[in-house]
C-alpha cells in the first residue's frame, strides 16, 4: 500500500520535472525577471546600440545622440536587442 503511493508520487515528480526545468530555462526573447513583454522600455535607435533600457535617464542612454525612442520590451527583443545590464 505504502509503496504504491510512493511509486505514484515518484511518477508524478518525474512527469512534472520537464515542466519545472523548462520554466527555469528561460528561452531567448523573454523579458527580464519582474517585467512583462508589454512593458515600456527605452532604446537608442543607433546601429551600435543593441540594448533596451528600463529608465530613460540610464547612463548608457545619455551617450545616445540620436534621441531616445520609447517602445515595448517585446518590440525591442524582436529588434534583436537585449536588456541593459545597468537597468535590469
Ligand atoms: Zn540602461
Residue pLDDT, tens place only, 24-74: 444 457 899 999 999 999 999 976 779 999 999 999 999 888 899 999 999
For residue 77, the CA-to-ligand 1 centroid distance in Å is 15
C-alpha cell belonging to residue 48 = 551600435
Report CA(35)–ligand 1 centroid distance (Å). 14
**58-70 pLDDT, tens digit each:** 999 998 888 999 9
60, with CB counted inside 10 A (0-12, 13-18, 19+), is middle
Pairs from 43-51 (Cβ < 8 Å, separation ≥ 24): 43/68, 43/69, 43/71, 43/76, 43/79, 43/81, 44/68, 44/69, 45/69, 50/80, 50/81, 50/82, 51/81, 51/82, 51/83, 51/84, 51/85
pTM of the predicted structure, to 2 decimals = 0.66
Q: Give distance in angstroms: CA of 80 to centre of ligand 1.
A: 16
Amino acid at each position: 500500500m505504502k509503496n504504491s503511493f510512493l511509486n505514484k508520487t515518484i511518477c508524478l515528480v518525474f512527469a512534472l520535472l520537464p515542466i519545472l526545468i523548462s520554466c527555469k530555462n528561460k528561452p531567448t526573447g523573454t523579458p527580464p525577471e519582474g517585467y512583462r513583454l508589454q512593458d515600456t522600455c527605452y532604446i537608442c535607435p543607433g546601429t551600435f546600440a543593441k540594448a533596451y533600457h528600463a529608465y530613460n535617464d540610464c547612463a548608457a542612454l545619455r551617450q545616445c545622440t540620436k534621441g531616445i525612442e520609447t517602445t515595448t520590451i517585446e518590440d525591442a527583443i524582436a529588434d534583436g536587442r537585449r536588456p541593459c545590464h545597468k537597468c535590469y
